[in-house]
Amino acid sequence: MITVITPAVSARLATVDALKAELGIDGGASDQALGDLIDQVSSAVAGWCRRSFGAETVRQTEWLRSAQGEIILARAAEQSMPLTIVSVAVDGSALTVDDYILEGGMLLRLCNGRPVLWRAGKVDAVYTAGYNLPEDGSPNLPAAVQRACLDLCVARWTGKGQDPNLRSRQIDGVGEDTWFDPDKRQVTEGMPDQTAAALRPYQRWIIA
């Protein structure tokens, strides 16, 4: 069971200032609209990746019915997710940092520096997982994720009011429009192929 103790400060994967720089916009007249766009795109990216990116502190509670070798931390299972252990308790008794170790997303029990089995009972692991986003202090969000968000925002902003299947428009004399074949648009699970490729390393896989 996962309980969020401290939620992410922000969900935005890019800042308004960064998007304005991409679009060449000065002044603050469009700040609200740009912020709303970033929120929409950030939500779409997080949904496509099946994960939240902002750092959160959570408590993971495991009821062990029998002894076992390791505890898999749910948030650590998300690829490339930074994680810091805050505390670990067994049946309400706090462990010291010498009593456990985190290896590859698995929490191991230690005794005299050697791995041992977790005994049956209740284990509470409190940890912080996720990135500091661009609007947070000391941001460490992968550049590829921020770049993907900005590219999608620019595409939506510059394409406002246009048919998404419109490929090009020539305004010479009579004019000429060319169109994408909807069945041949280069998209992956609803995301443009180039963006999908950039985000793929950060997509969490669900195993049924």
Query: What are the CA-CA distances from residue 29 to residues 25, 35, 71, 151 (Å)?
Result: 9, 11, 51, 21
Burial class (CB in 10 A: 0-12, 13-18, 19+), 148: buried
* Helix/strand/coil for 59: strand
Tell me the pLDDT tens digit for each residue of 27-74: 999 999 999 999 999 999 999 998 889 999 999 999 999 999 999 998
Tell me the pLDDT tens digit for each residue of 77-111: 655 678 999 999 999 999 999 999 999 889 999 99
pTM score, two decimals? 0.76
Please, what is the average pLDDT of the chain?
Answer: 86
More confident position, 148 or 138 = 148
User: In terms of Cα–Cα distance, which of 78, 38, 75, 30 is closest to 57?
Assistant: 75
- Percent of the chain with pLDDT strictly greater than 70: 82
